[in-house]
Amino acid sequence: MTDRRALLAVTIAGVAIFALSFVRGWLFLDREVRGEGFRHSEILLSAWRSVAIPVLSLAAIIAVATAIAAIVMLRKPGVLPRWLLVAGAVAVLALVASSLVPLSWDGFTTSIDLRPGLLAAVGLILAVVMLVAAWMAAGIGRGAVVPIAIAGLVVAGAAVGGRWAVLTVGGPSNQAWEDGTYVRAGDDSAPLTLTIEEGTYRIDDRWSGAWEGSGGWTIAIDGDPACPDSRGAYHAHGEGEDEVDLRFVKIVDACGDGERASDLESGIWVRQP
């Protein structure tokens, strides 16, 4: 392959990766939601959507930047160092290769599986072509194979870790409540204050005990001195514009002949700043 053809191959491969990055099919995001009903969805992602960002989107940006560098070298030889092509191609290959590693995340009621799509394989092939052409255009000797391979593995490992961090941080908590104070909105009953803190709850001086989340929307309350042998279970729903307020729906609770259930279910509990 001549020098000019190598630069053209780098350009075409880089532009192709960038163009394909806007097409859905790089990743399959498989989401399963349990709890109140069951929902399952499978979404095809482009490099610019959801958990494909920032790893695949960064690969697309570096690919087109490397292609631009190759065009500059075609038009004005000697302006840019040829090793830039190899560095860019190695980064693209490592980032795209990291998308081939399947990942999963499990929350209270949601499970997410992330696996590569067809375009991830196509992108990998283009990245390999890009690297081979860049290597030939740069005229790098065999002695550089080991350090460049190590650099690629480091980038790929960091990219897998980054993908996992994005998936973990972006995963929904599936939990309607947070520790803090809630006041029941005004209705026919006297207002009450609910305090949730570190696995415990208190409703003024009427009820208190252990607070346990289970299955996302479901909470269980136990160990109340007013009824130590009565365990209650509720669905807690987010309410309000930002769904930070709470509405409780009883599953079972015989504490105080139903008085605790009446207090919890009567009205919306408004989250306090």
Q: How confident is the model over 99-157, as pLDDT tens digits?
A: 999 998 776 556 788 999 999 999 999 999 999 999 999 888 777 889 889 999 999 99
58 and 113 housed in the same domain: yes
- 60-110 pLDDT, tens digit per residue, is 999 999 999 999 999 988 888 999 999 999 999 999 999 999 998 776 556
Provide the residue range defining the domain that includes 152: 3-170
149 and 105 housed in the same domain: yes
165 and 195 housed in the same domain: no
Cβ proximity of 137 and 7 under 8 Å:
yes
CA nearest 79: which of 7, 1, 172?
A: 7
Question: Does the residue 104 lie in any domain?
Answer: yes
Query: What pLDDT is attached to residue 36?
Result: 47
User: Helices in the chain by DSSP H: which ranges?
Assistant: 3-20, 55-75, 83-98, 118-138, 145-170, 259-265
Task: Please state, for a pLDDT cut of 90, what percent of the chain lies above it.
Answer: 47
Question: Of 136, 170, 204, which marks where a domain is finished?
Answer: 170
Q: Is the pLDDT of residue 238 over 80?
A: no
Query: What pLDDT is attached to residue 108?
Result: 53
228 and 143 housed in the same domain: no
Question: Looking at residue 16, what DSSP letter applies?
Answer: H
Query: What pLDDT is attached to residue 188?
Result: 60
Cβ proximity of 261 and 232 under 8 Å:
yes
217 and 136 housed in the same domain: no
Q: Is the peptide bond before 54 cis (omega within 30 degrees of 0)?
A: yes
101 and 210 housed in the same domain: no
Question: Does the residue 72 lie in any domain?
Answer: yes
Q: Is the pLDDT of residue 168 over 80?
A: no
Q: Is the pLDDT of residue 241 over 70?
A: no
16 and 126 housed in the same domain: yes
Question: Does the residue 204 lie in any domain?
Answer: yes
Residue 96 CB partners (closer than 8 Å, separation 6+): 17, 56, 59, 120, 123, 124, 127
Question: Of 170, 198, 224, which marks where a domain is finished?
Answer: 170
Query: What pLDDT is attached to residue 215?
Result: 55
Question: Does the residue 74 lie in any domain?
Answer: yes
Question: Does the residue 110 lie in any domain?
Answer: yes
Strands in 103-106's sheet, in edge-to-edge order, are: 39-45, 27-33, 110-116, 103-106
Cα distances from 52 to residues 13, 96, 97, 100, in angstroms, run 20, 10, 13, 12
CA nearest 66: which of 86, 95, 46?
A: 86
> How many structural domains compose the chain?
2
Question: Of 125, 140, 170, which marks where a domain is finished?
Answer: 170
Residue 81 has a CB neighbour count (10 Å cut-off) of 12
Query: What pLDDT is attached to residue 111?
Result: 77
133 and 49 housed in the same domain: yes
56 and 164 housed in the same domain: yes
- Amino acid 159 reads A
For the segment 40-55, the average pLDDT, to the nearest whole number, is 89
Q: At 110, is the secondary structure helix, strand, or coil?
A: strand
165 and 185 housed in the same domain: no
